[in-house]
Amino acid sequence: MKYRVLAVNPGSTSTKIAVYEDQEELFCKVLRHEARELDKFGGIIEQYDFRKQLVLATMQENQVEAVSLQAVVGRGGLVKSLASGTYRVNDRMLADLNNPSLWGRIHASNLGAFIAKAIAEPLAIPAFIVDPVTTDEFSPIARVSGCPQIERKSLFHALNIRYVALTLAAEQGRNFREMNMIAAHMGGGISVAALEQGRIVDVNNAVLGMGPFSPQRAGALPIGDLLEMAFSGSYTHQEMVKMFTKTGGLMAYLGTDDGQEVVRRIEEGDSKAELIFRAMCYQIAKEIGACATVLKGRVDMIFFTGGLAYNQYLVNELRERVSFLAPIFVVPGEREMAALSQGAIRVLRGEEEAREYV
């Protein structure tokens, strides 16, 4: 039997949808939303019916009937920390996704579960999420920060990293759960993760935490200087969050978050661009090396993914520094729609059990 699944990936100003039949993509489309369309809603969650109707209309335009689906899967948003896998959407999950106090905010990706359930329920088919950003498989030792009031948190590009890891293991004819890997997902933010026997046991917080700086994020910073900035009176809390998550990294030093633009400047002789870009590569390599110690040097493969993995300058810099650790694989871009759909299809086929959100 072939399984047909609708995948829905909401963003702040767009909704990406795709329909897969087993591993075949029937269509994929990005629906753009203007600010004036979204501003009329009281909050993010209130947008779900509006976006749901657009998804259904797009399916009709692409000659895919909703009744032909076996499941609907949405992007996992800011749910409670949980193990990797495919989760059934239930009322507990929806309540948490509509609770801003859980993570301090509600992200547009939180809409994924709401839209999935709204489409699936009338069809009497399951609604799922897969590997949300809050996927957490840390061991107790990885949670200790050095300050009792602060615990290290797992918040990263879990969806793409786990799917690429599963795909590479299958291509090598190996069991994902018998391998150790290091993953570097490199985009606007950068996640470097240690995967041990199929579990993501350590990773830098890719939003506002440790790790390398990135095209938009500041990464780990010297604590003393950070405290001086925070208490200087020159910046508000919101200004500092924006500085470190949206306008830090390459953007702060070079005025651009476009890696290819930076490489063009380097080729034209811009020594500052070369220094800053190589510094970013240096920090990514250091984080990969740190993950190798987590795995006690037993590393079967390292893989690079995300938009920056298209950047050959960056890939070459990283190869030079970390290729002694393990074979390197490059899977550029993101595979989020395939990751969502295949997470649902693995459950439908009986290859994995759907998890219950508690």
* Edge-first strand listing for the sheet containing 328-332: 199-203, 190-196, 180-186, 301-306, 328-332
What is the structure's pLDDT at 208? 81
What is the structure's pLDDT at 209? 72
Q: Where are the domains of the chain?
A: 4-134+337-348, 140-326
Q: Which fold has domain 140-326?
A: Nucleotidyltransferase; domain 5 (3.30.420)
Same fold? 4-134+337-348, 140-326: yes
What is the structure's pLDDT at 35? 87
The length of the chain, given as a count of residues:
358
Q: Which fold has domain 4-134+337-348?
A: Nucleotidyltransferase; domain 5 (3.30.420)
Alpha carbon distance 242, 191 (integer Å): 19
Alpha carbon distance 238, 322 (integer Å): 36
Q: Where are the beta strands (DSSP E) in the chain?
A: 4-10, 14-21, 24-32, 71-75, 86-88, 127-130, 180-186, 190-196, 199-203, 301-306, 328-332
10 Å Cβ neighbour count for 35? 8
Segments in the chain below pLDDT 50:
none
What is the structure's pLDDT at 226? 96
Q: In this structure, are residues 109 and 78 in contact, taking their beta carbons and an 8 Å threshold?
A: yes
